[in-house]
Amino acid sequence: MRISSIWYSFRQGVKNIRRNLLFSLASIGTIVSCLFLFGIFYAVVVNFKSAMKSLENSISISVFFNEDADIDLLAAQIRTREEVDTFDYITAEEAWLKYSNDTYDNPEEARAAFGDDNPLAKSASFSITLKDVSKQAEFVRFLEGLNGVRKVKSSQHTADTISSLNMFVGYASMGIILILLLVSIFLISNTVTIGITVRKEEIKIMKLIGATNFFVRAPFIVEGVIIGLIGSAIPLVLIYYAYDAILNYVVGRLTLIKKLFEFVSLSELFKVLVPVTLLIGVGIGFLGSIFTTKRHLKI
């Protein structure tokens, strides 16, 4: 395609937007609304996933073993499993220290009362967290089958709850995103259809003098892409300032929430959100224009 043809298609695409300004603004507004909701939803989902990951990391499996067990062999067998995220060896002294600190109002007095007699002398254990808590049940069965393992303590109910929540959020996200995309494509399709109707006679003349289908369609594709690009850039700016304001508010005033829940940073959120949102916006405009022109440009 020659430079002059590209420039013509671009100019005609811009003219189409200006000619059908009301419908173009409606399409842009719809994309802005849809992608703004998408961005907010994405931010919520990412922070939810982050919170779930933190919760997963707090769910540990404790493995207690017999006194005559080969601890080094057990540790080697467990560490080699790909499900393992963290692995720590808790001595009996460390177990008693933690238990006394968590249980007694005055842990130092409690430890002094027991003296050298450690009530948890046989409570040395491995503390293990998994990369994916949905695999906990299978991993626990593996642990229980190891020679020398006396007892395995796990939080299967909590792990099942987290897995169910993650699955629900995943399916809900895909459903909502699909609905938003279909609405945006529908609006852009209507805008392009109006542009084709307005220029129907002009397009007919262009076809009669030998214009190719691509040459005729190109301005409408440019129109859809520009609408999609503008509609995706605006919500990114809005979400950026909104999310930044929320982070500053939480850090400045809601320190308790900050201690309980660590928000995903602005840079980490936007390094994915920016390219995805722009791609979706431009993709919606491009696909909406392609489908519409194929349907209506049979002149």
> Residue 20, exposed/middle/buried by CB under 10 A (0-12, 13-18, 19+)?
buried
Confidence of residue 161 (pLDDT cuts 50, 70, 90): confident
Tell me what pLDDT residue 167 has: 77
Residue 214 pLDDT exceeds 90:
no
> Residue 206, exposed/middle/buried by CB under 10 A (0-12, 13-18, 19+)?
middle
The number of residues making up the chain comes to 299
149 three-state secondary structure: strand
* pLDDT top residue among 196 and 23: 23
Confidence of residue 198 (pLDDT cuts 50, 70, 90): low
Segment 128-141, tens digit of pLDDT:
888 877 788 888 88
Strand 149-153 and strand 125-130: the pairing is unpaired
10 Å Cβ neighbour count for 214? 12
285 three-state secondary structure: helix
Tell me what pLDDT residue 234 has: 92
Segment 79-130, tens digit of pLDDT:
888 888 888 888 878 877 887 777 777 878 777 877 777 777 777 888 888 8
Q: How far is CA 177 from each of CA 80, 174, 189, 285, 297, rounded to the nearest angstrom?
A: 39, 5, 18, 16, 30
* pLDDT top residue among 171 and 256: 171
153 three-state secondary structure: strand
Residue 200 pLDDT exceeds 70:
no
For the chain, the straight-line distance linking the first and the last C-alpha, in angstroms and rounded, comes to 22
Residue 70 pLDDT exceeds 70:
yes
What single-letter amino acid sits at 11?
R
Which of the residue ranges 78-92, 139-153, 170-184 would you say has the lowest mean pLDDT?
170-184
Residue 196 pLDDT exceeds 70:
no
Residue 259 pLDDT exceeds 60:
no
With vertex at residue 272, the alpha carbon angle to CA 267 and CA 275, rounded to the nearest 5 degrees, is 115
The answer to whether 180 touches 33, Cβ cutoff 8 Å, is: no
Range with the largest mean pLDDT of 63-67, 167-171, 187-191, 291-295? 63-67
Which of the residue ranges 143-147, 169-173, 252-256 would you say has the lowest mean pLDDT?
252-256
pTM of the model: 0.62
